[in-house]
Structure 1
Amino acid sequence: MIYRLRVILDTVEDIFRDIEIQASSTLEDFHNVITQSFGFAGEEMASFYVSDDAWEQGEEIALFDMSEKPGDVRVMSDTVLEDTLWEKQTKLIYVYDFLYMWTFFVELAEITEPAPGEQYPKLLFAKGEIPAEALEPEFKGGDSDEDDEYSDDYDDAGDNYDSMDFDENWN
């Protein structure tokens, strides 16, 4: 089976790629196709996240297992597309480069039969170019004055270690 997928970059402009890939391909194969089709070098860490229809981030499928206990995290090289996406589970979130947090929305558009003589994976359509910087994530939190207040308290401590409750020669 062949999966037709749309991979949309989370930006203000419309930037997406339509890709066909074999359903039996691994998520690592798909990761490589995404990075190449968007023009990334593919040298950064990345993860897929299973997503629901509201694009809520679910289980992580990482490029490498960096958990404290090996085997706690699913890895892309051991995970097949058809075991992750199907008719009732059509969405993934893909994050590339955890420093810049390039975030993509992946949606399974269609499941088809392979066309005779066709090579897969293949890029069907590309719209838009990668901007110079990733979209700035919007963090929701407390009042920024509270953060400033904390920073001022910390700065007031300066180098006066005697007033702090710890042993600076602990090691």
Structure 2
Amino acid sequence: MAVLKFRVYLEEDDAVYRDIAIKHTQHFLDLHLAILKAYEFDNKHQATFYRSNDAWQRGREISLEVYDKTYVVPPLLMADTTIGSEIKDPNQKFIYVYDFNKNWVFLIALIQIIKEENPKLVYPLVTRVEGIGPQQYGTKSLLGEKFADIEEKYDLSEAADGFGEDADDENDAEEDAEDAEGQMDDDF
């Protein structure tokens, strides 16, 4: 049974990617879940694949479900569509969009076709990880509540250019010390 290896790029940064191996008989739903796991995203949002060409133009849609929007052609469903059925070219490409509000876009390129699967492996699987993936919900989710504590403790919002009031206090202290030194010289 053939195994297809896809490179899943973050659209904004092609240095960030994950290689995913999947059997040609598995469904787009399996690929959808593998991408989310590879990028450490949750599975709470809408998603869709588009068959694509070399110019990354969006073609036939393969959707998680039928959404309330206008379709040129009714979408295929991820749970019903095998990956092998949508491979029309040895360099096949897909576009994957996750969370229509945040609009996470991934570019997917078929990079290798392996004739035989490895019976010791469970597919789909991530075979390579390059670059640090984005945080699904932004920086604050990385540290959670701790970020707010750090921000408050160090007053990060006030010191926009890296200098706070303390720098002025230090300059004043230096000037006061020089004045006192000059005063002492006058006394002697």
Which TM-score applies when normalising by structure 1? 0.71
- Preserved contact between residue 91 and residue 111 of structure 2 (Cα < 8 Å): no
- The equivalent of 1:98 in structure 2 is 100
- Alpha-carbon shift at residue 132 of structure 1 (Å): 4.1
- The equivalent of 2:51 in structure 1 is 50
- Alpha-carbon shift at residue 85 of structure 1 (Å): 1.8
Spell out the pairing of 1:138-153 with structure 2 (5 A cutoff): none
Equivalent AA in structure 2 for residue 34 of structure 1: I
- Preserved contact between residue 67 and residue 73 of structure 1 (Cα < 8 Å): no
Cα distance per residue 1:7-32 (max 9 Å; x no partner): 00112461100011111010011100
- The equivalent of 1:121 in structure 2 is 124
Equivalent AA in structure 1 for residue 76 of structure 2: R
Uncovered stretches (5+) of structure 1, i.e. residues with no partner: 135-171
Query: What secondary structure sits across from 1:42 in the alignment?
Result: coil
- Alpha-carbon shift at residue 65 of structure 1 (Å): 1.3
The percent identity for this pair of structures is: 32
- The equivalent of 1:152 in structure 2 is none
- The equivalent of 1:22 in structure 2 is 23
- The equivalent of 1:75 in structure 2 is 77
Query: What secondary structure sits across from 1:78 in the alignment?
Result: coil
Cα 1:87/1:103, change in 2 over 3 Å:
same
Query: What secondary structure sits across from 1:14 in the alignment?
Result: strand
- Report how many residues are paired: 133
Equivalent AA in structure 1 for residue 77 of structure 2: V
Measure, in 2, the Cα distance between the counterparts of 1:12 and 1:25: 28
Measure, in 2, the Cα distance between the counterparts of 1:73 and 1:19: 24
Match of 1:130 among 97, 122, 133: 133
Query: What secondary structure sits across from 2:15 in the alignment?
Result: coil
Uncovered stretches (5+) of structure 2, i.e. residues with no partner: 138-188
Measure, in 1, the Cα distance between the counterparts of 2:136 and 2:39: 13
Measure, in 2, the Cα distance between the counterparts of 1:55 and 1:94: 11
CA RMSD of aligned residues (A): 2.2
Equivalent AA in structure 2 for residue 52 of structure 1: N
Equivalent AA in structure 1 for residue 131 of structure 2: G
Measure, in 2, the Cα distance between the counterparts of 1:23 and 1:41: 25
- Preserved contact between residue 29 and residue 64 of structure 2 (Cα < 8 Å): yes
Equivalent AA in structure 2 for residue 128 of structure 1: G
- Alpha-carbon shift at residue 88 of structure 1 (Å): 4.1
Cα 1:93/1:37, change in 2 over 3 Å:
same
Residue range with higher mean Cα deviation, 113-122 or 88-97: 113-122
- Alpha-carbon shift at residue 117 of structure 1 (Å): 2.1
Cα 1:132/1:41, change in 2 over 3 Å:
closer
Measure, in 1, the Cα distance between the counterparts of 2:55 and 2:14: 21
Which TM-score applies when normalising by structure 2? 0.65
